[in-house]
């Protein structure tokens, strides 16, 4: 590792996690969610590794176009739908599939497509708000909207989808309430035989009754459990998920400090005894969380230790008191297969999704 900070991306682990999603999902098709640069892991490399997916899900038309330009030929779903009418030209040109979640989007689509020649009918995913309170058509008007969209001359197919707000809390009553609302509307559309999509990672890994046509795994593909880390039976290893990203940085100095000495800004850490502290060349400008408290877990020489002092822009301190073999130039592992990203997330109070998405461009990426 020549760079001071490196994120190693294990593409075989990504493929392994996809196989777990495929085996556990109560669905015949899998949409691999690779939005936000594949959760910070690299869009193109991740898409190529996930070649067994039936479809890729991205945030917007610009992400879809970036993915298409890599040479990917699989269907691409734009999850946030239409932001501006001008985007429909790209959607038609590249035959992107499109989520529709509001009546205003339908109006925009009608107006824009009246001016565009379509060579191939489009596939829409009509989203129902069953209780997330974010995006979607209300259940009481969904069937009417579905039939209207299906009858448009530019429509090839309409899938129905929803998103569970609390599937990462398996015993939440809202899960069954949302499913009930969805199934009731699905029954109203029995004659149309709609293709359905419900679960994301937490739904796939839970025991909820989520049988449908499409599942949409995201965070589990990258080796994280979507559940609270305190629930030991729902941690990543219980599902045989493997870490995809390993984040490492160099130790650039080692200090022998005395009891009462200060480490870093604002005296966040005062040495309780004489101790050996390593200075690691990674900080919040690299994407490491600035709010990481003292004793956030770190691995050095294969041994668990913790941070000391406030995280700086380019550096942080780690306790080396029990690791005498550590020396300048050694690597510290901030998360990876032997140190769960989920454990770091739990300690910092930041979602594991946030941690990988925040890794900065200046960090060197290596694909394995």
pLDDT digits (tens, 9 = 90+) for 185-217: 999 999 999 999 999 999 999 999 999 999 999
Domain count across the chain: 2
Q: Is residue 284 part of a domain?
A: yes
Same domain, 202 and 253: no
At 117, the pLDDT band (50, 70, 90 cuts) reads confident
Residues 175 and 262 in one domain: no
154 and 250 in a single domain? The answer is no
Domain end position, chosen among 216, 236, 269? 216
pLDDT digits (tens, 9 = 90+) for 275-330: 999 999 999 999 999 999 999 999 999 999 999 999 999 999 999 999 999 999 99
- State whether 41 and 180 are in the same domain: yes
Minimal CA–CA distance to 93: which of 57, 122, 60? 122
Tell me which residues are annotated as active site.
Answer: 35, 265
CATH number, position 198: 3.20.20.10
pLDDT above 90: residue 2:
no
pLDDT reported for residue 18: 98
- Per-residue pLDDT at 42: 97
222 in any annotated domain: no
Kindly state whether residues 80 and 193 are assigned to the same domain: yes
In a domain, 12, yes or no: no
Could you tell me if 99 and 178 lie in one domain?
A: yes
Q: How far apart are CA 270 and CA 257, in angstroms?
A: 10
Asked whether residue 19 is domain-assigned, the answer is no
DSSP string over 59-128: SSHHHHHHHHTTT--S-EEETT--SSTTHHHHHHHHT-EEEE-SHHHHHHHHHHHTTS--SSPEEEEEEE
Q: What is the pTM of this model?
A: 0.94
Domain assignment of residue 161, given as a range? 26-216
CATH number at 290 reads 2.40.37.10
Q: Please check whether residue 196 is in contact with residue 214, taking contact to mean a CB–CB distance below 8 angstroms.
A: yes
| Assigned domain for 223 exists | no
């Amino acid at each position: 590792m020549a760079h001071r900070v490196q994120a190693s991306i294990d593409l075989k682990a990504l493929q392994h996690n996809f196989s777990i999603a495929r085996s556990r999902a109560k669905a015949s098709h899998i949409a691999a969610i690779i939005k936000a640069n594949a959760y910070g892991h690299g869009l193109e490399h991740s898409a190529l590794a996930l070649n067994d997916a039936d479809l890729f899900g991205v945030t917007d038309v610009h992400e879809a176009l970036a993915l298409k330009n890599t040479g990917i030929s699989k269907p691409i779903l734009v999850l946030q739908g239409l932001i501006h009418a001008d985007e429909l030209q790209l959607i038609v040109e590249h035959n992107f599939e499109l989520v529709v979640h509001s009546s205003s989007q339908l109006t925009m689509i009608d107006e824009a497509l009246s001016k565009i020649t379509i060579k191939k009918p489009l596939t829409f995913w009509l989203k129902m708000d069953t209780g997330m309170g974010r995006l979607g058509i209300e259940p009481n008007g969904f069937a009417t909207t579905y039939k209207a969209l299906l009858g448009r001359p530019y429509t090839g197919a309409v899938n129905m989808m929803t998103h569970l707000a609390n599937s990462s809390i398996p015993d939440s009553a809202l899960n069954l309430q949302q499913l009930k609302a969805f199934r009731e509307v699905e029954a109203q559309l029995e004659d149309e035989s709609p293709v359905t999509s419900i679960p994301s990672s937490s739904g796939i890994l839970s025991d909820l009754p989520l049988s449908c046509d499409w599942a949409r795994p995201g965070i589990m593909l990258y080796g994280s459990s979507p559940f609270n880390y305190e629930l030991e039976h729902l941690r990543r290893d219980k599902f045989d998920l493997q870490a995809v990203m390993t984040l490492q940085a160099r130790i650039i100095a080692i200090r022998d400090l005395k009891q009462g000495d200060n480490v870093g800004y604002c005296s966040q850490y005062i040495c309780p005894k004489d101790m050996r502290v390593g200075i690691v060349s990674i900080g919040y400008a690299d994407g490491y969380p600035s709010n990481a408290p003292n004793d956030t877990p770190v691995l050095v020489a294969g041994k668990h230790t913790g941070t000391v002092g406030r995280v700086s822009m380019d550096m942080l301190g780690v306790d080396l008191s029990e690791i005498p073999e550590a020396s300048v130039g050694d690597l510290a592992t901030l998360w990876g297969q032997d140190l769960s990203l989920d454990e770091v997330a739990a300690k910092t109070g930041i979602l594991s999704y946030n941690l990988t998405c925040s890794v900065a461009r200046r960090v060197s990426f290596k694909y394995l």
